[in-house]
């Protein structure tokens, strides 16, 4: 039989009494935690924290399983079972000295209560003899400190209880021998001092008894700044008079048997107008009513979120389950936390314990409370707790009771059976609460204003009740007027203060409890605005060494919400809107403008550095040179290892931070950091263009252009205007793009930006070709080539665009020459993107020349190369060309597959012209599949959009295919009209349009096996 000793250094002995050595400190720590909770489930997270207190490895689960297996191997017969979400060690109570100590104490106290003083003294002595020194003296496990502290206090109290019983038996000499060294080690134990004084007096040593009092009083005054308690002073007075009195005996069973006002009813009245929270209320009721012997339920959340109201409602819901009563203790929060000893005294008096019978020692009071509640069914509500240490002494110890705790802090050190973090209300709940307060009619009269009030209040019940009360007290104050006042962040918190209710004051209580570093970090987070905050921002603000501690403190205080771990592995956080407003106000008060800007600058520099490191791993695919590409980013405040980890996958990093970067771009510029804003935006543009995220691109560059105009920065304004022109071009808005190109080309030429002027001129030429003006477009392209004569990439762009113009003008031989020059330049540059682009262009021109075999080979090569690149737009373009070449060759299945894939990619990227051209090709195939009616619908929608884009050639081609669709459904009149329109618009010199029409008409031929082809893409997307 294996026995375990915890009351001293950890000792394990086998059935022969031989000591079994454990091989590692982690084995000892794991065994200690399981033994301290013997026969009870121990959560996996507690075991993990025990073994790896700093940061667990990624494989912690398998590592933990290995440690448990080794422990079982080392200690044969050891029973460690899975239990709930953890493990349980099953061991007989008599084999663990700590469990024997606990049961012996209970037996001794029962004997004392029954008047068996000799039995009590004997059992107390046996219990104390189990101690070999400080519990688990050779095991360092911080998670066990609360348990070990409780055991130690029980030992001290048991020593005093033994002394009291021994004195009653006349063993004062033995008491003196025991208590003198005891009091030396524990000089603040007033009860022990009183007992020793009585023993000395009975031994005829009055002077020594008085010296004990003098020494104890001096220690109390010096160490704690307090005078002795009434009991010790009364004993001192009796010793001075030579009277033989002892401290009032504490018979626990007698106290329990004393008349008690059962049932105790201390719950405050239920909250009037409580609204919503159905899910949270159900969760609390279930947790308090479950099968756990003593449920300890912790409700935490941000200031003003409604923790106490929710807890009170839950307490009233389950009140009937606790017939012996309901205790309510307001612990007064973190600003002035109530002493747990004073709270215990109040609770004991409420339970009928007379003042003289209440021990001085906190731990003795806690033991008395547990004894008093034993066998009872009582609900204990501890409201606004400041810490786990404040709560521990107030917890019942026997089944039947339940505890409901509310706190601003998460109370992570408390072994709760259930935790609920209260979030702000939902929009629906918040609107209902506001309507209940003010009157639904008044809110329904202006729903927009009601929503604005709810948003400004951050859906916090405290803020909503204050706003509602303002509207009630002032009938002339309309919801719209109040919403206008709340919209101003500078005065919002002043508006949300009324009488003794104050949102800012509520937040300030939690804020004031923070240390200096955590306050600094909170203010820094607030300066970032309403964004999702990645962990690296905290590292920038407070440093790598302190970041974990600061984050833990803010999350524990419910001032910062942990939301998720992002794709880069970074934890992400968010500030509630009102906490952010509060912290911003304190930033203004606590920092100089220079300090605030310095904090923001470090965050901005880190973001630019990360964006630069990510963008350098991506290809530059925009038809414009990078304006700041050669400019170095500012110094990176983050460690290199952190940067490398975050941007290991640049796509993931950009996608993760995309919303934040879009949101802050304009703010960075308006601060005055214009170069930095351009650096960040250009690197973000690399990614957004690659992804086809045109809406975000438009928002960023439009914001930058307007800010630059306001700041008198014409060159930056022109830079953003150039991107806006390219966006219009990419979306097929050709007429708008031409207007924008002409304007920005003039501005950049006047500014002497020759290279950028050349690139944009080439883009202008391409756009003019799309409008059906190839001669005009070719002239612009030639002008661009002259401006770019020393720019290989720019000349490649001109060759590609020139080939496009020449095919439209019927000059196919010249177009082929231009395509071949483009391919040669692309290969010389060593740029795979340009090579793939050139292969695609040359393949199409060869198809126009009738060389289908060579065209197909080059188209296949372009697609294969594009698949190896992260440029999805290029792949869609190459697939579309492959589809056209395959159609021209009569390879119907290959054409449909290529067009389908190209269509899907273009759709995801938002490249509308390419998506429509692929849909037109697929509609051609539907005609041949016997689905001409569907084709008519799709083609008409394509036609409408091509016309709105001003794309003449695309419109003409679509009319021709639509004519074939109308003929297939028997509508010859519409077919004739469509052919007439096609004839009117088609340029007879445009070899490309003619060849594409021919290929598409091949697809319209009767396929005879419609089911072999994919279902049609959703036509609704074409509108």
First to last CA, the chain: 81
Task: Note whether residue 540 is domain-resident.
Answer: yes
The phi, psi pair for 199, rounded to 5°, reads -60, -45
Q: Contact 722/746 with Cβ under 8 angstroms? A: no
Q: How far apart are CA 1006 and CA 875, in angstroms?
A: 29
Task: Look at residue 412 in the predicted model and tell me its pLDDT.
Answer: 86
CB-based burial label for 500 (10 Å; 0-12, 13-18, 19+): exposed
Task: Clarify whether residues 468 and 517 are in a common domain.
Answer: no
Task: Note whether residue 611 is domain-resident.
Answer: no
Q: Contact 288/405 with Cβ under 8 angstroms? A: no
Task: Note whether residue 498 is domain-resident.
Answer: no
Task: Note whether residue 446 is domain-resident.
Answer: yes
SS3 label, residue 80: strand
Q: How far apart are CA 396 and CA 338, in angstroms?
A: 19
Task: Look at residue 356 in the predicted model and tell me its pLDDT.
Answer: 56
**DSSP 8-state secondary structure symbol assigned to residue 564:** E
Tokens of 453: 């009030």
Q: Which residues of 920-945 are buried (b: 16+ CB within 10 A; e: fewer)?
A: bbbbbbbbbbebbebbbbbbbbbbeb
Q: Contact 763/623 with Cβ under 8 angstroms? A: yes
Q: How far apart are CA 468 and CA 470, in angstroms?
A: 5
Task: Clarify whether residues 405 and 533 are in a common domain.
Answer: no
DSSP result, 37-60: TTTS-EEHHHHHHHH-SS---TTH
Residues of the chain where predicted confidence (pLDDT) is lower than 50: 247-260, 1009-1023
CATH number for the domain including 529? 1.10.10.10
Q: Contact 966/975 with Cβ under 8 angstroms? A: yes
- Bond from prior residue into 263 cis (ω within 30 degrees of 0): yes
- Domain end point (choices 545, 573, 591): 591
Task: Look at residue 257 in the predicted model and tell me its pLDDT.
Answer: 37
Give the chain's count of helices (H) and strands (E): 47, 16
- Going by C-beta distance under 8 Å and a sequence separation of 6 or more, which residues neighbour residue 956? 981, 982, 985, 986, 993
Q: How far apart are CA 934 and CA 538, in angstroms?
A: 56
Residues 273-312: tens digit of each pLDDT: 888 899 999 999 999 988 888 899 999 999 999 999 999 9
Task: Look at residue 357 in the predicted model and tell me its pLDDT.
Answer: 66
- Domain end point (choices 591, 607, 636): 591
CA-to-CA separations, 398 to 334, 375, 932, in angstroms, rounded: 29, 7, 79
Task: Clarify whether residues 196 and 136 are in a common domain.
Answer: no
- Going by C-beta distance under 8 Å and a sequence separation of 6 or more, which residues neighbour residue 284? 297, 299, 310, 311, 314, 317, 404, 420
Task: Note whether residue 332 is domain-resident.
Answer: yes
Closest CA to 512 of 335, 731, 327: 335
CATH number for the domain including 966? 1.25.40
Q: How far apart are CA 778 and CA 831, in angstroms?
A: 25
**DSSP 8-state secondary structure symbol assigned to residue 481:** H
Number of domains into which the chain is organized: 6
Map tokens 């975050």 to a residue.
646
- Going by C-beta distance under 8 Å and a sequence separation of 6 or more, which residues neighbour residue 306? 277, 422, 425, 460, 461, 462
Q: Contact 960/935 with Cβ under 8 angstroms? A: no
φ/ψ region of 309 (left if φ > 0, alpha if ψ in -120 to 50, else beta) reads alpha
Task: Note whether residue 44 is domain-resident.
Answer: yes
Task: Note whether residue 793 is domain-resident.
Answer: no
CA-to-CA separations, 275 to 310, 461, 465, 732, in angstroms, rounded: 10, 9, 11, 51
CA-to-CA separations, 509 to 457, 512, 513, 612, in angstroms, rounded: 19, 5, 7, 41
Q: Contact 736/726 with Cβ under 8 angstroms? A: no
Task: Look at residue 588 in the predicted model and tell me its pLDDT.
Answer: 54
SS3 label, residue 370: helix
Task: Clarify whether residues 369 and 458 are in a common domain.
Answer: no
Task: Clarify whether residues 399 and 269 are in a common domain.
Answer: yes
The phi, psi pair for 200, rounded to 5°, reads -65, -40
Q: How far apart are CA 110 and CA 119, in angstroms?
A: 10
The phi, psi pair for 52, rounded to 5°, reads -130, 75
Tokens of 861: 């090569």
Task: Note whether residue 535 is domain-resident.
Answer: yes
Task: Clarify whether residues 400 and 538 are in a common domain.
Answer: no
Task: Clarify whether residues 242 and 292 are in a common domain.
Answer: no
DSSP bridge pairs for 13: 3, 19
How many Cβ atoms are within 10 Å of 338's Cβ, its own excluded?
17
CATH number for the domain including 193? 1.25.40.10
Task: Look at residue 650 in the predicted model and tell me its pLDDT.
Answer: 94
Task: Clarify whether residues 455 and 567 are in a common domain.
Answer: no
Q: How far apart are CA 352 and CA 136, in angstroms?
A: 38
Task: Clarify whether residues 160 and 198 are in a common domain.
Answer: no
Name the helix (H) or strand (E) containing 193.
helix 190-202
- Domain end point (choices 400, 422, 444): 422
Q: How far apart are CA 376 and CA 321, in angstroms?
A: 11
- Going by C-beta distance under 8 Å and a sequence separation of 6 or more, which residues neighbour residue 849? 812, 816
Q: Contact 924/901 with Cβ under 8 angstroms? A: no
Q: Which residues of 237-270 are buried (b: 16+ CB within 10 A; e: fewer)?
A: ebbeeeeeebbeebbbeebbeeebeeebeebeee
How many Cβ atoms are within 10 Å of 502's Cβ, its own excluded?
17
Q: How far apart are CA 873 and CA 567, in angstroms?
A: 24
Q: Contact 854/865 with Cβ under 8 angstroms? A: no
DSSP result, 681-698: HHHHHHHHHHHT-HHHHH
Task: Look at residue 252 in the predicted model and tell me its pLDDT.
Answer: 37
Give Cα 719 distance to the centre of its chain. 36
In this structure, the chain runs to a length of: 1023
How many Cβ atoms are within 10 Å of 88's Cβ, its own excluded?
18
SS3 label, residue 460: coil
Q: How far apart are CA 931 and CA 364, in angstroms?
A: 88
CB-based burial label for 558 (10 Å; 0-12, 13-18, 19+): buried
Task: Clarify whether residues 297 and 316 are in a common domain.
Answer: yes
**DSSP 8-state secondary structure symbol assigned to residue 203:** T
Task: Look at residue 926 in the predicted model and tell me its pLDDT.
Answer: 95
Task: Clarify whether residues 314 and 337 are in a common domain.
Answer: yes
Residues 677-699: tens digit of each pLDDT: 999 999 999 999 988 888 899 99
Closest CA to 658 of 629, 696, 621, 689: 696
Task: Look at residue 259 in the predicted model and tell me its pLDDT.
Answer: 45
SS3 label, residue 358: coil
Tokens of 413: 């050190």
Task: Clarify whether residues 586 and 526 are in a common domain.
Answer: yes
Q: How far apart are CA 285 and CA 939, in angstroms?
A: 60
Q: Residue 329's domain spans which residues?
A: 264-422
Strands (E), 480-575: 497-498, 501-502, 533-534, 561-565, 571-574
């Amino acid at each position: 039989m294996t026995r375990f000793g915890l009351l001293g250094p950890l000792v394990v002995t086998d059935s022969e009494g031989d000591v079994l050595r454990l091989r590692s400190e982690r084995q000892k720590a794991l065994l200690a935690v399981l033994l301290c909770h013997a026969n009870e489930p121990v959560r996996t997270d507690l075991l993990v924290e025990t073994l790896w207190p700093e940061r667990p490895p990624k494989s912690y689960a398998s590592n933990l399983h290995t440690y448990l297996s080794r422990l079982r191997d080392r200690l044969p017969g050891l029973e460690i079972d899975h239990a709930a979400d953890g493990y349980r060690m099953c061991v007989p109570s008599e084999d663990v000295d700590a469990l024997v100590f606990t049961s012996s104490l209970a037996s001794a106290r029962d004997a004392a209560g029954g008047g068996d003083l000799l039995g009590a003294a004997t059992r107390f002595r046996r219990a104390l003899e189990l101690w070999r020194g400080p519990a688990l003296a050779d095991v360092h496990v911080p998670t066990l400190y609360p348990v070990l502290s409780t055991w130690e206090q029980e030992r001290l109290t048991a020593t005093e209880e033994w002394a009291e019983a021994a004195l009653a038996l006349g063993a004062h000499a033995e008491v003196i021998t025991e208590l003198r060294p005891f009091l030396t080690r524990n000089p603040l134990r007033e009860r022990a001092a009183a007992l020793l004084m009585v023993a000395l007096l009975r031994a005829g040593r009055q002077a020594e008894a008085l010296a004990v009092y003098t020494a104890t009083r001096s220690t109390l005054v010096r160490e704690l700044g307090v005078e002795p308690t009434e009991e010790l002073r009364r004993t001192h007075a009796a010793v001075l008079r030579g009277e033989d009195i002892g401290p009032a005996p504490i018979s626990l069973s007698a106290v329990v048997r004393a008349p008690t006002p059962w049932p105790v009813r201390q719950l405050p009245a239920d909250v009037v107008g409580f609204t919503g929270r159905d899910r949270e209320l159900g969760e609390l009721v279930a947790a308090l009513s479950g099968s756990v012997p003593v449920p300890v339920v912790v409700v935490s959340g941000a200031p003003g979120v409604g923790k106490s109201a929710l807890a009170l409602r839950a307490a009233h819901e389950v009140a009937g389950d606790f017939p012996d009563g309901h205790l309510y203790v307001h612990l007064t929060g973190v600003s002035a936390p109530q002493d747990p000893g004073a709270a215990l005294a109040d609770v004991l008096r409420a339970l009928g314990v007379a003042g003289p019978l209440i021990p001085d020692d906190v731990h003795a009071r806690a033991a008395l409370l547990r004894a008093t509640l034993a066998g009872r069914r009582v609900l204990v509500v501890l409201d606004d707790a400041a810490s786990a240490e404040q709560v521990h002494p107030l917890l019942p110890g026997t089944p039947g009771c339940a505890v409901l705790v509310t706190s601003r802090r998460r109370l992570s050190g408390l072994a709760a059976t259930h935790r609920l973090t209260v979030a702000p209300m939902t929009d629906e709940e918040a609107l209902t609460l506001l309507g209940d307060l003010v009157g639904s009619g008044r809110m329904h009269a202006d729903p927009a204003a009601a929503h604005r009030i709810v948003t400004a209040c951050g859906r916090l019940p405290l803020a909503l009740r204050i706003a509602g009360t303002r509207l009630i007290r002032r009938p002339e104050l309309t919801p719209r007027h109040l919403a206008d006042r709340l919209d101003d962040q500078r005065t919002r918190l002043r508006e949300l203060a009324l009488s003794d209710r104050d949102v800012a004051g509520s937040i300030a209580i939690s804020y004031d409890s923070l240390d200096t570093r955590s306050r600094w970090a909170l203010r820094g987070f607030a300066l970032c605005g309403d964004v999702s905050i990645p962990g690296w921002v905290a590292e920038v603000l407070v440093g790598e060494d302190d970041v974990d501690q600061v984050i833990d403190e803010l999350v524990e205080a419910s001032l910062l919400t942990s939301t998720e771990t992002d794709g880069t592995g970074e934890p992400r956080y968010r500030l509630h809107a009102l906490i952010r407003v509060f912290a911003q106000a304190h930033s203004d008060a606590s920092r100089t403008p220079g300090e605030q800007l310095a904090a923001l600058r470090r965050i901005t520099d880190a973001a630019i550095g990360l964006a630069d490191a990510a963008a350098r791993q991506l290809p530059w695919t925009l038809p414009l040179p990078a304006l700041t590409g050669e400019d170095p980013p500012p110094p990176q405040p983050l460690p290199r290892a952190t940067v490398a980890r975050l941007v290991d996958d640049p796509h993931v990093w950009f996608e993760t931070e995309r919303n934040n970067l879009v949101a802050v771009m304009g703010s960075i510029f308006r601060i005055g950091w214009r170069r930095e804003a351009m650096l960040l935006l250009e690197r973000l543009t690399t990614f957004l263009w690659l992804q086809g995220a045109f809406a975000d691109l438009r928002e960023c560059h439009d914001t930058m252009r307007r800010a630059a105009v306001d700041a008198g920065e014409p060159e930056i304004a022109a830079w953003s205007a150039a991107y806006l022109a390219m966006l219009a071009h990419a979306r097929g808005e050709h007429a708008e793009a031409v207007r924008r190109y002409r304007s920005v080309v003039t501005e950049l030429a006047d500014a002497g930006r020759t290279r950028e002027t050349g690139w944009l001129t080439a883009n202008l030429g391409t756009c003019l070709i799309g409008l059906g003006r190839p001669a005009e477009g070719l002239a612009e392209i030639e002008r661009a080539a002259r401006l770019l004569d020393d720019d290989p990439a720019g000349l490649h762009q001109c060759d590609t665009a020139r080939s496009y113009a020449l095919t439209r003008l019927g000059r196919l031989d010249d177009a082929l020459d231009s395509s071949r020059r483009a391919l040669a330049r692309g290969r010389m540059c060593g740029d795979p993107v340009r090579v793939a682009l050139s292969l695609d262009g040359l393949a199409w021109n060869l198809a126009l020349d009738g060389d289908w075999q060579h065209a197909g080979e080059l188209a296949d090569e372009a697609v294969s190369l594009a698949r190896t690149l992260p440029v999805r737009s290029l792949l869609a373009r190459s697939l579309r060309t492959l589809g056209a070449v395959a159609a021209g060759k009569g390879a119907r299945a290959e054409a449909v597959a290529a067009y389908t894939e190209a269509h899907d990619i273009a759709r995801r990227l938002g490249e509308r012209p390419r998506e429509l051209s692929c849909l037109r090709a697929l509609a051609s195939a539907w005609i041949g599949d016997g689905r001409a009616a569907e084709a008519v619908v799709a083609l008409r929608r394509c036609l409408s959009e091509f016309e709105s884009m001003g794309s003449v050639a695309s419109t003409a081609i679509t009319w021709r295919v639509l004519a074939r669709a109308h003929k297939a459904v028997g509508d010859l009149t519409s077919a004739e009209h469509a052919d007439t329109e096609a004839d009117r618009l088609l340029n007879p010199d445009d070899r490309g349009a003619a060849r594409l029409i021919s290929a598409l008409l091949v697809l319209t031929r009767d396929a005879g096996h419609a089911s072999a082809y994919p279902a049609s893409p959703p036509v609704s997307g074409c509108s």
